[in-house]
Structure formats: structure tokens, C-alpha cells
Structure 1
């Protein structure tokens, strides 16, 4: 299944989102791992065709849906308690990450500090055939700056079947599969979703290529993250 974003008003979605395509980082872009996938400038406003492309069918799988939400965070509230009222008692708080200003992508390899670029998470360690059932990630932008979620429109199952045509669904999708997919000249449309301080998202980060971004903004942004199995609409939508 491709990228689906839950929304109520097309104009509200358009006001928050831009679109571009993915490319492979150049060797001269030494801050990145070799072969990393990153956004190709320029970003442009969403056209009607872009909005139709991310419009979910009538009954989408909640586990594959992106939602732009307002998490119920109050100043002074322990972050570990934020998801207690969201219906998944097994939800896990993953911690925080700080992104510097004006970063095209934000996640680095903790072993050597090089940027990963757009990547695939693997907390649930599911094979290709079951990848669409993984937990979704909740993100809350703690500020002080604005940040983005950058997410790809081609799902991990499609990429894995394309790069490994003999696989029967037993292989575990990996970021390297996406890197090979782009290196072969195959396009991956990207959507960039703006998150102001206090905004958040629910997204299938084990199923879709993604990363954070602070491109074009002069302030850093901290974000907090959780993993859980939450139904669509459990948090108020911003679009």
C-alpha cells in the first residue's frame, strides 16, 4: 500500500505539505552515508493530483496510515505518561532527539555520526509479508523550532519485491533496499509535512521511508517519540 494521509479538508492538507522526489546523495555530500536517499530540491506545493494520490480508501488499515495530530501534552507532564489515555497499554516511550537548524534530514548513525538520510525503522523486526502490521510511531514536536516529517510514497513491501524479485515475503525490508531501489533509477515521490511546536504525527515508520527535517528554519527542534497500536482518530487531527 502506498502513502495514505488522513485528512478532512484538502486545503488544510495543502497548507501543511509540499512534495518532491527522492535522490541519492552525492559522494561530495560527505555528511551522509554512501548511497543515502535524500530529498531532491525544489519542494513544490501539492497539486490536486498529489492530494488524490495520498487520499486513503474508505477503509484503510490504521497501521499504514499517516495522521497529522495534536498530542495531549501539558507543560510539566512526564512524557512517559502521554499515551496512557490512547488505548494501547503496551505503548513504548522511545525518548527524545534534538535536530539542529536547517537540516535536510536529521537522523544520524550513532556509531560514526554520519547522516542516514531517509530510512526505514525496524523496531518490530517483521518480514516483508507482515510489514504492514508493524506499530506506528507517534512524534511530538517539542520545539522551539518548526520541523517536518518527510515520508516516501512507496511502501517497503513494494520495494522489497522489486529489489529482491525471488523473495516470498520472508526477507526483512531494510533501508539498503530503498537505496538500491533509487540507485536503479526508480522514482519515490516524497511528501513533507510541517509540524509546528506542539504538533505531531502518527506514521508507519517501519513501512514507509521517512525522516525528520528542519530545512529552511533557523531554530533547532526537539522531538519525543513513542511506538504503539493506535486506531485512526484517537488524537485530534490538524487537517
Structure 2
């Protein structure tokens, strides 16, 4: 089963034996899952519950947890209506007369998923998962209400201190509701991307809990990680709590593999052209991630992700001088292949949209209204004509992709409207229907202009699909499957993040590189307009 895994991390608990958590990019195969249940001596009635959950959740993102004590657990990312979730809980043995059950029955929002686990002793645990909330005040208020529902007296968790720490470090928060298990009922607080430094003080760990933290820190340090994938704090009615530290694990042959023999782990590929500016401004332009990873099952910063999605692995760091040498180009080349650029938009381009006052927009509803503004079509046509006649190849087509907007604070922004899920790092398909890599590298590039009042960010891997083919010889895959194979094989290959200020645009070969946009760290609405064409950075102002 491990060959189908997209991500693996270990879970170190202060109360229970360690376990592995394995996330799958594709649906679990029921036959192989059944064999695993048999190997772990899970009783027939408990196995039947887990097997039915796998069958009822085709295509859903799944995490399989395997404990060294033989316990098997499933975490399913699937929207569940309140009534359906509580009916499932009752079916596996939950007591509907508890205060927690009554509290959840009054909720007017769906759950974001659920967990079910079984042990060789026949114990079955079922939990419902709330969608993560970025509002720490709301999380703290709900937590205190849950303590009342559980009948817990006194401050058993430093919730205010944890919320303050979470706000300072952009930690995503979520809640889980355990409705049946050895403790009867319990609630859990999930903290995503939790910084290792300061974790002990923020959680106010007691002496007995430090051994698990120290082991988790050793594993993370060996992998040069500065954040835990997540921390879960589980609270039971008697005041007892369990803290679980989730640490990323990698196949060392993949994670430490140098690509092309380059000591930075970067290959000389797609070059970035930046505007001419002072060194102090350049230092705030470019960052590198620690590689790539799967996003959390439930996302704290926006809509959930589709199955198999990949996002940058945090934290970000400034590129060293050798890394900058690989990433940056000195000047815009004549060819549109293997380069991208940040350009300052000329005044005549910005003037096309001046009457619309796009920088003043604060909500997505206002953006929808401005799309219906009678001035909008003429503004888009004028901008497209300007780009076609002055800033792109003679005779090349320019296609306007329209005005778009994104909420602030999202690690990635691209969204699949059919699945109602975020996409993560991806390759665009505008001109190419069959996925041929050579066709893609010769395809049109994109110009995306920041017309809002805040910075936005472009995320990309500086390696094109034709270079991926050379690194993965013997593969005969279309571009998107080739990219997925590359991400699995080279999960430590860094993602670059470049800042695009208001009044600037990026020009990028988005049909041949893995990329996405980001509004992480911003507080205002991101508003932008995009065009497809054959744009040249050297055709813009001479400062690029």
C-alpha cells in the first residue's frame, strides 16, 4: 500500500503508542485494506465498520493511521451534514443523550470530515471534524462551550495562550468531536503548521508530557524541520488530556536526493527576471520553501484541497547567494521559453482601469458588481489591444482571461469549480489538450497584473516539464502525470515564491511549469487581471 502513499508522517502521543499516518493520493483499494485489517487482527464487526466507511467515501482524501499496537484508523476529508454525521456516530455506538451530542445537534453548519479507528481489542472510536477556523476568538469561545458540554471544570488547557501563539505564527486551528471511544466522549483542538520553538511554553506541558515532545523534536531536527505538521490536544471529561505531535517523514532516498549533482538541490532551469531596484527591496522579493508536501486534510486558510494536491513545505527562507545565482537571470532573453519576469506596468496600461477604482474593492461581492460595470468591457479591450500592439510578438493573439479576486491569507489560491476544491501546485492547460510536453514548452505565456492595493505572490518550481522528462527517463506520461511523478520523487525540491507588488505583473510560462498564486500574509483583497499571449519582458520599461 505504501507505494500509493502521497505523504507519511509519524504521530507521537503523550498517552498512547506511536503510529504512522499515511495519506493516499488515490482511493484506498478495499481488497488491500481488508488484508491489512486481517493482519492487525481487527475483529470482524469492527472491520466491517471501517470497510463500509472506505466504500462510502470513493475519491475522498484519506489518511490511514497504523499504530504499533495494531490499532487502525481512517481520517476522511468529506463534507458531512450535521444530521448525517450524528447518524453515523449513533450507528457505531455513540450515546445520543450526552451533552456533547446535544451541543452538536444544534450546529447549523456541515462537518468537514470524520475519523474512525478500531483496535484488536474491538474498541471502535468515531469522531466528527469541524472545518478549521482562522478566527481564534471564535475557536476559544467554542472550546469553552465544549468544556461546559463535557462537564469539565477549571482551565485544563491554556486556550487563550494557545490562541495568542497561533495568531502570532499563522497557525491554523480546527476542532474535533469524539462521540464514541474508550473515554465515551472527548474533544480535540488541532493546530496546523505549529512552530517547534515555543511549543512547550505555549502548550504549558507538564513533566510527563515532555518525553514525547523531545522525541518529536529529535525526529524533526534530523529532517531540518522547524514546524510540526500539526499538534492535536485531546481533552476528556475527567480533565485528562492527550497531546499528539505529528512529524513529517520522508523516504530518505527521495528527500535527500541531489538533483543533477547541484549542491543547492536546484537545477539551472527557468530564470527569473526582476525589476532594477535597490538591494534592500530585492531582499523582500524572493523566498524558497523546504520542498513540497500534502496540504492538511482540512484547510485553515480557505477551501479544502482536492485529492493528491501538493503545496509548498513551510517554512520559507531567503535564498543563499548560490541559490540566487541559479534562480535569477541578468536580462530578459529573446525567447519566451525558460524564463519568467516581474515587470512594472506602464501608466497607459493602468489608465485603462483607472475609472473602475479596483484598488478600492474590499469584498468578493464588490468584485462581482464591478464585473457588471458597463465600463469593464471597454477597459479590458483597451488593455488587450495595448498588450497586443506594444508588448507582445507582432501578429500574436492576446486573450483576456478576465478580472479575478482572491481572499487574503491563502497559501495557494487556484480553485477547481467543478470539484469545489483548491488545486495546489499545477500546470495550466490553455492551448494544449493532449498534454504533450514539447507542445507545452512552446505554448503561450501569461501576464497577470496586480490591480489591487496589496502584494500578492507567485509560487513556482524553476524546472519545466521537458526538464522533468530528462530527470525521469523511461517515463511516457502526459505533462500533469509527469509533474505528479516528479513531486513524489523529489519532494525536497524547493518552491520559489516571488512578490508581485500593486502596479506590477508577472509574465510566466504557466503551461510548462508547476505554479500557483498565494495571498498568505496579506490582509486585503487580491484583485488582478490576466491575459494569454506571447509577451516579452524586454518590451516593457527598460528597468527589467
TM class, shorter-chain normalised?
0.7 to 0.9
Distance 1:224 1:203, change over 3 A: same
Contact 2:294 2:311 in 1 (8 A): yes
Q: Which residue of 1 aligns with 2:143?
A: none
For 2:490 and 2:272, the matched residues in 1 are separated by 26
> Secondary structure in 1 aligned to 2:326?
helix
Q: Which residue of 2 aligns with 1:34?
A: 307
- Give deviations 1:33-52, integer Å, cap 9, x for gaps: 12211011111112211211
Q: TM-score, normalised by structure 2?
A: 0.40
Q: Which residue of 1 aligns with 2:418?
A: 111
> Secondary structure in 1 aligned to 2:289?
strand
Tell me how far 1:79 sits from its aligned partner: 2.4
For 1:133 and 1:73, the matched residues in 2 are separated by 29
Match of 2:316 among 43, 51, 73: 43
Match of 2:429 among 113, 122, 130: 122
Contact 2:429 2:511 in 1 (8 A): yes
For 1:165 and 1:238, the matched residues in 2 are separated by 43
Q: Which residue of 1 aligns with 2:379?
A: 78
> Secondary structure in 1 aligned to 2:537?
coil
Match of 1:225 among 520, 523, 530: 530
Contact 1:68 1:237 in 2 (8 A): no
State which drifts further: 215-224 or 88-97: 88-97
Tell me how far 1:140 sits from its aligned partner: 0.4
> Secondary structure in 1 aligned to 2:511?
coil
Contact 2:305 2:424 in 1 (8 A): yes
Tell me how far 1:198 sits from its aligned partner: 1.4
Q: Which residue of 2 aligns with 1:3?
A: 270
Contact 1:19 1:44 in 2 (8 A): yes
State which drifts further: 126-135 or 215-224: 126-135
- Give deviations 1:75-115, integer Å, cap 9, x for gaps: 13712322243244511111122111100000110112211
State which drifts further: 156-165 or 223-232: 156-165
Distance 1:212 1:44, change over 3 A: same
For 2:286 and 2:475, the matched residues in 1 are separated by 36
Contact 1:27 1:34 in 2 (8 A): no
Q: Which residue of 2 aligns with 1:61?
A: 335
Structure 2 gaps of 5+ residues are 1-267, 356-377
The answer to whether residue 456 in structure 2 is matched with residue 151 in structure 1 is: no
Tell me how far 1:160 sits from its aligned partner: 4.1
For 1:17 and 1:238, the matched residues in 2 are separated by 18
For 1:232 and 1:17, the matched residues in 2 are separated by 18
Distance 1:155 1:27, change over 3 A: same
Tell which structure's C-alpha radius of gyration is larger. Answer: 2
Contact 1:70 1:237 in 2 (8 A): no
For 2:479 and 2:413, the matched residues in 1 are separated by 21
> Secondary structure in 1 aligned to 2:524?
coil
Q: How many residues align?
A: 235
Distance 1:62 1:214, change over 3 A: same
Contact 2:334 2:536 in 1 (8 A): no
Tell me how far 1:130 sits from its aligned partner: 3.3
